[in-house]
Structure 1
């Protein structure tokens, strides 16, 4: 299913991200009173009346300045326009028409796309009409007074948008897999996103902090859709000041929570750092499936022994992530990038898998026959009555036993390994819930 795209463009700080959040519902794009916060194209699914579409947020347009990231931001906005069915130009009703608005309007009149003019920050209905009337001089048709912050006028704007959008007939396509790309700054996350998409989807720069917002991209491979979420590089908390980077990192953590699978990107030239370990622990805490992506493999001098040696070193540091597949890639050259989505799909299937109680208890019977549960010093032996899966995403198995304290970490790891080996839970954490006899009896009484 290919959804029509609507591009939201305008000068810096006119409220584009706030309007995108309002149209799409919920808070996703970073909103902060500072120019240049949004740099890449950020796609969000939206729905109005009988139309589904993607609304794409873009960076603030400035045509007469080529400093820092402004040329790349202009290119990102132009690319968004090139794939869109309609455009919403956002202007500031409190500031009134500016030379920058006029320059953008002149450029838009040359584009063969339906255009809607949204005059933002019109909080008062009566004053809003007066504020919007000033923008007739841009020659772009009727200006719609809206307040993206309060929501007033946005419905009228979307009613005017609907006739320009084709209706989309839904099919039986599989549910999209949400994939978050996370890692420390400058490990190559945005380069990886561009390599997966096959286009300059995100701005790539050696300057730390280039990506500030979480950048969503929908791609399709072999009939499966993937929401790819590029995130800001996550630094140690003590180095982060309150402001854009603070919000960026919070967005990255939220991206992990809304993902099915997380691509943890590690720079092979630097190895696994303490910050990588903390990110891996965050993935496990949030119960997300994971693929370990080792980037910049092209920068390593190699022989036939290099790959297994390096993988052993990485695995020894990330031993608690031993269930995740590991792939060595170069986002710069494209080496092995085409194999990542197959690993993502396998991990997502494991993450969503449900196993019947009968199968789980067959595995338990074989596991306990091969290695009996331990006994304490007083000779009291652990007993497992039965197990059942109580949840997926991640797979969660409740084990009903006589006393959870009798089962130490070694035996718990043994059962975790047995479930993975026999049930195929590759690429996802598996949570084991140990329920004692008294808990089991209380549960029966409650039922």
Structure 2
């Protein structure tokens, strides 16, 4: 990644995610009293005293994992430790050292990476907390007492972290990563698709709905360009959301969509387009993000229904309001369709940043009006005098007209289709902003 990687590890409920949020400076990871809320690795960049590093939150490690999910979390932690430059082993001051702490310390010793012992949940520093028992872990690290919840002694912890890195660890300007959010209903294969793109088990995949809870950011490079994949929790109807952690997951998924450059709407090929899929597509359209539709699990579609052209026609009819989105048929478990998907994402992002010269724009709109004049309303006809592109991501065009109220939805869609026919706007929404033109300055487009 270019920057030092600092990985937070520990058993469940010692305050890892609270510490992660405190160091990052905002509530990124879901925090609950219930153990096991964090499952996948979460990455965020942190800067302290001119030194930049990547902070990684991980799930809680338990002794002798008893179910597949616990085993998957442990694998995620071991993978994070393998890429770490520094490990923050978080301990609970109130509970002291447990057998699980000793097992995690053994894992850390085995990889031979530098360690900072973080003794969390210290409520007061007067008198100073007694930390002698934590030396018994034999890691040769000085314990740093903190209260992540109250923000106590966090500055000292950050000093201890950056002391492990050379002064030149600060990195200069880098190319902005293209941020892509994968969104969809639970169990449509979003996490499997992320792993297929990365070529590794980066996020936990399970048949249990709700396995992904946080919005998991994963940086990677494709064709020499930096990307950031966001695997989000499955979005269910609000009426079906019960647990607080699921509400937080849904909120984070929507926030991920807002901070993304593009979205991949992942559908289940067998189930087809559902009402909830339409709602999620509406969220993408409302956010104005470039969009690609991934029809996943294509291998499970019965042979008699496996006609891509007919399937695509039906899908376009259901998702007519984002009919500009390219559609890719994928099989995430076999990595089929992944390269095509990445190509369409690249194309959609490029299109949402496309600029059109005023003269070209005016010529297309003038020709469109001549070919199909606007309808008359109240004995008046819409006239477009001037047109400018005023924004990208999404594309926004300002039209100066005689009366904005004369623009019908039908004619607005007609103008959008004419622009799409003239320019490659595949994968990106188009917005029109209408302003009344002063009569004394009227000019034809």
Q: Give the secondary structure class of the aligned counterpart of 1:96.
A: coil
Distance 1:161 1:170, change over 3 A: closer
Structure 2 equivalent of residue 136 of structure 1: 135
1:445 counterpart residue number: none
Q: Which residue in the other structure is 2:443 paired with?
A: none
Aligned to 1:299: 300
Q: Distance in 2 between matches of 1:131 and 1:257?
A: 45
Flag structure 1 segments of 5+ consecutive residues without an equivalent: 442-447
Residue in 1 that maps onto 2:90:
90
TM-score w.r.t. length of structure 1 = 0.93
Kindly tell me: are residues 413 and 16 of structure 1, through their superposed partners in 2, closer, same or farther at Cα, counting changes over 3 Å?
same
Give 1:91-130 correspondences, 5 Å limit. Answer: 91-127=91-127, 129-130=128-129
| Greater mean deviation of Cα atoms: 135-144 or 112-121 | 135-144
Moved more, 420-429 or 229-238: 420-429
**Which residue matches 2:351?**
350
CA distance, structure 1, for counterparts of residue 280 and residue 51 of structure 2: 38
Looking at structure 2, the residues matched to 428 and 88 of structure 1 have their Cα atoms a distance apart, in angstroms, of 42
Residues 129 and 145, structure 2, Cα contact 8 Å, conserved in 1: no
Q: Residues 36 and 60 of structure 1 are in contact (CA less than 8 Å); yes or no, is this contact kept in structure 2?
A: yes
1:287 is matched with 288
In structure 2, the partner of 1:419 is 419
Which residue does 1:191 correspond to in 2?
192
Show the 5 A alignment for 1:357-396.
357-378=358-379, 380-396=380-396
Aligned to 1:444: none
- Which residue pairs with 1:52 in the alignment? 52
Contact kept, 8 Å, 1:232 with 1:248, in 2: the verdict is yes
Structure 1 residue 255: Cα displacement: 0.8
Which residue of 2 is the match for residue 334 of structure 1? Answer: 335
Alpha-carbon offset, residue 396 of structure 1: 1.2
Asked if the contact 2:52/2:171 (under 8 Å) is kept, the reply is no
1:215 matched to which residue of 2?
216
Tell me, yes or no, if the aligned pair for 1:88 and 1:116 is still in contact at 8 Å. yes
Would the alpha carbon gap of residues 420 and 123 (structure 1) be closer, same or farther in structure 2, given more than 3 Å must change? farther
Q: Aligned equivalents of 1:225 and 1:426: distance in 2?
A: 22
Q: Quote the Cα distance in structure 1 between the aligned partners of 2:362 and 2:174.
A: 34
Q: How does 1:27-42 map to 2 (within 5 A)?
A: 27-42=27-42
**Counterpart-to-counterpart distance in 1, 2:355 and 2:97:** 58
Matched position secondary structure for 2:428: coil
Cα distance between partner residues in 2 of 1:168 and 1:350? 35
* CA drift at 1:370: 2.3
Per-residue deviation, residues 337-368 of structure 1 (Å, max 9, x unmatched): 12212211111122223334333223222222
Contact 1:173 1:223 in 2 (8 A): no
Secondary structure of residue in 1 paired with 2:374: coil
SS in 2 for 1:126: coil
Do the aligned residues in 2 keep the contact of 1:93 with 1:131 (CA within 8 Å)?
Answer: no
Map of 1:225 onto structure 2: 226
By how many angstroms is 1:50 displaced? 3.0
Tell me, which stretches of 5 or more residues in structure 2 are unaligned?
A: 441-445
Q: What is the count of residue pairs matched by the alignment?
A: 438
- Deviation (angstroms), 1:213: 1.1
